[in-house]
């Protein structure tokens, strides 16, 4: 008698459990899902998460730290794509009419797609930057007339700090639509210059000597390669020269250029060398 009672209780529990698992959530005539289906979707996502985590650890186990960080960043977005695919497959396997879901949310998906267009461009550009390695953390870049030292490269944005200690947040899609100047692509040393004009009749050899002495005396200018002076042009009102020099920190080039200009002006005054300004002769004719 007791055995029969236990079996009846067991059968009742099984029937109730089955009834709960078969309970259906109905969203519309074409879209519905059972509790069993929801559990299947959850299990599928949990298993996918576990497998992806093992895969990431397996791939990155021997990678250098820099490459590992880049791979983890890219993999983070790939993971969400995989989750979306697994979610749709699991929903379809659970009996949900995925086509009906897409049809019901078509207008919403189109709006979201248009709104996220720029975001996807940024992410795609970020992947290109990370894989191509055209820009690295610490590089000095110039984009749309703005110069900054790269602090952080993410999939959507790149952060750089300017010489004024202001942070530039650059959307990555700008790298694909604009010309990027990487000042330190070939190393930290860069060639810079200062232009100056002197009056006609000036001693050009003395001008050359002064420019070389001024540039060489700057502590930020490298001795090797040594500064050089170029006689660039016979202009309308001046003889034009360029003093070229090499820096190891081009990020602060404007300070070195300013110091050189101060010293050039001082040295020219001491040696009676004139920096001319444009002059024009005006001829006036009167009608008789």
pLDDT of 236 reads 84
Which SS3 state, helix, strand or coil, does residue 119 take? helix
Using the CB atoms, write b or e for 57-67: b if 16+ within 10 Å: eeebeeeeeee
CATH number of this structure's domain 190-270, picked from the four choices 3.30.70.100, 3.40.470.10, 3.40.50.300, 3.40.430.10: 3.30.70.100
pLDDT, residue 124, reads: 75
Closest CA to 95 of 149, 30, 146, 185: 30
Cα distances (angstroms) measured from residue 239 to each of 35, 202, 213: 87, 8, 19
Cα separation, 102 vs 95, in Å, equals 15
Q: pTM for this structure?
A: 0.55
- Encoded tokens for 147: 């110069």
Domain map of the chain by residue range?
9-104, 134-182, 190-270
The pLDDT of residue 79? 79
Q: Report how far apart the first and last C-alpha atoms of the chain are (Å, whole number).
A: 142
For residue 51, what pLDDT is reported? 86
| pLDDT at residue 115 in the model | 57
The first and second tokens of residue 8, run together, are 């009846």
Structural contact between residues 159 and 170, judged by C-beta atoms closer than 8 angstroms? yes
pLDDT score, position 111: 61
Q: Is CATH 2.40.50.100 what the domain over 134-182 is classified as, yes or no?
A: no
What is the structure's pLDDT at 46?
Answer: 85
> How far apart (Å, rounded) are the C-alpha atoms in residues 208 and 230?
8
pLDDT tens, residue order, the chain (288 aa):
555 565 655 555 555 555 655 556 555 555 556 666 677 778 888 888 888 888 888 877 776 676 676 677 677 777 777 877 877 777 777 666 666 555 655 555 566 566 566 777 777 777 777 777 778 888 888 888 888 888 888 777 888 888 888 888 888 888 777 888 888 777 778 889 999 999 999 999 999 999 999 999 999 999 888 999 999 999 888 999 999 999 887 777 888 999 999 999 999 999 999 988 776 666 676 665
H/E stretch holding 158: strand 157-161
């Amino acid at each position: 008698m007791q055995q029969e009672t236990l079996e009846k209780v067991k059968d009742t529990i099984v029937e109730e459990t089955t009834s709960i698992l078969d309970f259906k959530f109905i969203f519309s005539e074409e879209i519905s899902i059972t509790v069993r289906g929801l559990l299947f979707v959850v299990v599928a996502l949990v298993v996918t998460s576990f497998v992806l985590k093992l895969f990431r650890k397996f791939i990155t186990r021997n990678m250098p730290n820099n490459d590992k960080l880049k791979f983890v960043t890219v993999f983070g977005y790939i993971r969400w794509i995989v989750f979306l695919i697994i979610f749709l497959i699991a929903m379809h396997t659970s009996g949900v009419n995925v086509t009906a879901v897409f049809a019901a949310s078509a207008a919403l998906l189109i709006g979201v797609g248009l709104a996220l267009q720029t975001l996807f461009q940024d992410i795609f550009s970020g992947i290109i930057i990370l894989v191509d390695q055209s820009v690295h953390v610490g590089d000095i870049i110039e984009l749309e007339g703005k110069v900054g030292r790269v602090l952080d490269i993410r999939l959507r944005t790149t952060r750089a700090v300017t010489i004024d200690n202001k942070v530039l947040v650059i959307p990555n899609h700008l790298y694909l639509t604009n010309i990027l100047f990487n000042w330190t692509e070939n190393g930290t040393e860069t060639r810079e210059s200062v232009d100056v004009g002197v009056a006609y009749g000036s001693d050009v050899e003395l001008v050359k000597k002064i420019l070389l002495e001024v540039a060489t005396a700057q502590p930020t200018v490298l001795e090797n390669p040594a500064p050089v002076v170029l006689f660039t042009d016979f202009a309308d009102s001046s003889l034009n020269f360029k003093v070229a020099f090499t820096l190891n920190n081009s990020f602060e080039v404007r300070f070195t250029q300013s110091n050189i200009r101060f010293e050039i002006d001082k040295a020219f005054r001491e040696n009676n060398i004139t920096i001319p300004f444009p002059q024009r002769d005006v001829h006036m004719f009167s009608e008789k």
